[in-house]
Amino acid sequence: MVKDLANKIQGANYYCFAECGHLPQIEYPQQFTQVVHEFIRGC
């Protein structure tokens, strides 16, 4: 559902951290940081 919504929003990006709970910044800190940096660079 969320992926479909992101596809309908111009400029939106969808990221999924495999087997992640509610805290991607704790469970996948390096990947999370990279996604956030890419978002900030795109602003």
Question: What is the percent of the chain where pLDDT is above 90?
Answer: 91
Q: What are phi and psi of 35, to 5 degrees?
A: -60, -45
What tokens were used for 43?
């602003």
pLDDT of 43 strictly over 90: no
Q: Which domain range does residue 27 map to?
A: 2-41
Contacts of 7 (CB under 8 A, 6+ apart): 14
pTM: 0.77
Question: What is the percent of the chain where pLDDT is above 70?
Answer: 100
| Residue 5 pLDDT | 95
The total of structural domains in the chain comes to 1
